[in-house]
Amino acid sequence: MLKAFADLSTPLVADACVRLGVSLRIAPPGIRAVDPGHRLAGRALPVRHYGSVDVFLEAFGAAEPGDVLVVDNGGRTDEACVGDLTALEAKAAGVAGLVVWGLHRDTSELTDIALPVFSYGSNPSGPVRLDAQEPEALTSARFATHLVSREDMVFADEDGVLFVGAEHVEEVLATALRIRDTEREQADRVRAGDTLRRQTSFEEYMARRASDPEYTFRKHLRRTGGAIEE
């Protein structure tokens, strides 16, 4: 999956979801890679954190190569829930990386380990609580308003993190590739002096919008083959 995502981006995947009418499930703003430039793509391995590392160790027992550990820590900012030992164990289990709805610690060590970890940021304190474990602890993870399961794929890069149902992934990635090719061609033409206004027949759009207020630029782009908005 990471190979298929190699020449794409989360904005392209998001645009493909919009174009196809696939639910757009984006992690909250602020989730970023510990080591800038890291990217992730793989099947979700969901887990809910309750204050102890044991739930991660249990999850790794069911991991398959290339899985992405999706950690639900409720978006908490008073504790870090993953660190260097969790990342090392994830790597040993064949996990491709971690996406955390919460914070991490051991930043220097995580950088050395070089396993992609995405979180809100760092906190030196680990958890001092131990909550009761829910029955769904290893079957789904909440990520803000989204519920992520083994039926989801995870994509992450410099622009953020999003989740796509596995049943839609093939079509979404194929559409994202087409959008990428269109946008690259448009960018090359702008660099060569052919402005985006000319490429999109913007004057024609303005004239038609004047007589038809319901004629949106998005409709116009779809008719003319542009891709700058989705």
**Do residue 34 and residue 103 come from a single domain?**
yes
Q: Which residues are annotated as a binding site for Mg(2+)?
A: 106
Residue 191: predicted pLDDT: 96
Residues 49, 87 within the same domain: yes
Q: Which residues are annotated as a binding site for substrate?
A: 105
Is residue 48 included in any domain, yes or no?
A: yes
Nearest to 117 by CA among 91, 79, 151: 91
> Tell me, what's the pLDDT at 230?
47
Query: 6 exposed, middle or buried (CB, 10 Å; 0-12, 13-18, 19+)?
Result: exposed
Q: How many CB atoms lie within 10 A of CB 30?
A: 10
Residue pLDDT, tens place only, 146-157: 999 999 999 999
Query: The CATH number of the domain where 131 resides is what?
Result: 3.50.30.40
In this prediction, residue 226 carries a pLDDT of 59
Task: Establish if 41 belongs to a structural domain.
Answer: yes
Q: What is the pLDDT of residue 83?
A: 98
Full domain range(s) for residue 214: 195-224
Residue 219 confidence (pLDDT) = 87
Q: Tokens standing for 207?
A: 């004239």
Give residue 210's pLDDT. 95
Question: Residues 159, 204: one domain?
Answer: no
Length of the chain measured in residues: 230
Judge whether 109 and 86 are in contact, CB under 8 Å. Answer: no
Instruction: Give the per-residue pLDDT at 222.
Output: 79
Contacts of 88 (CB under 8 A, 6+ apart): 113, 115
pLDDT of residue 17: 96
Total domain count, the chain: 2
Same domain, 130 and 67: yes
Low-confidence ranges of the chain (pLDDT < 70): 225-230
Residues annotated within a binding site: 105-106
Containing 157, the helix (H) or strand (E) segment is strand 152-157
180 inside domain: no
Please write the tens of the pLDDT for every residue from 50-87: 999 999 999 999 999 999 999 999 999 999 999 999 99
Query: What is the reported pTM?
Result: 0.90
Q: What is the pLDDT of residue 225?
A: 66
